[in-house]
Amino acid sequence: MWYYASNGQQFGPVTEDEVPTLIANGTINRQTPVWREGMQDWAPADTTYLSASFKSVPPAAPSAVPSCPVRVAYAPAAVVYDPHSFRKLWLWYAWLLGTGIPLCFIFIGIIPCIAAAVIGYILLYRFWSLIQDGRARTTPGQAIGFCFIPFYNLYWLYVAVVGLAKDMNAYCDERNMPAPRVNEGLAVTWYVLSLTGIIPYVNILTSLALIPIAIILFKQLSDTAAMITQAKQQ
């Protein structure tokens, strides 16, 4: 959903399908302030990924080009996280996963495994929230929600985790952030091993490798997320 501003008033939400029509009839032009969930602040439409929709629309005449909008008073607050919270959540995730999986053989480990999964999804949501600049391949809500769709989630795990590693690295590269990069190969390995979880007996063996890989991968994601958060707060 998108919001846009015109003549000092806020309009929206409007769907992705409605935006091209608003651009075509001139309601939204290249300099119109727009905002959607995940963006830190309002920005001219032409500086977001909506810029592709203006290719078929001629630019406004020089006399009609409005001045670059300044930050508007009704801009919603950006999502703010404590950089240290990522490490704390990761420590809980690592501890619960590392102790829960081995204990599953005597059923006691089911509870810590469920708790680890919940924390893992919380971290994933936060990771995706940090890089919503209009170029991310999915939203935080979709990243988590689609993981619960039977069968489709076998594919979606690739988007939610491997895609996250790629988008997070790209986000840092585009802004020259001195954040540690996530090992995309490690993310792919995690995804492949996760798929073996549906194979009886084989999953017992692969879980031994999956546990440390998952812990290391989420550590990398958490470290990068913490650096992105710190950079945003400067």
Domain contains 69: no
The encoded tokens of residue 46 equal 């032409």
Other CB atoms within 10 A of residue 219 CB: 18
User: pLDDT band for position 58 (50/70/90)?
Assistant: low
Instruction: Say whether both 105 and 215 belong to one domain.
Output: yes
Number of H helices, E strands in the chain: 8, 4
pTM of the model: 0.65
**pLDDT tens digit sequence for 162-177:** 999 999 999 999 988 8
Instruction: Say whether both 135 and 228 belong to one domain.
Output: yes
Domain contains 71: no
Instruction: Say whether both 87 and 59 belong to one domain.
Output: no
> Domain residues for 193?
83-233
Residues 28, 19 contacting (CB under 8 angstroms): yes
d(CA 171, CA 181): 10
**pLDDT tens digit sequence for 77-129:** 445 789 999 999 999 999 988 786 666 556 665 788 889 899 999 999 999 99
Domain contains 70: no
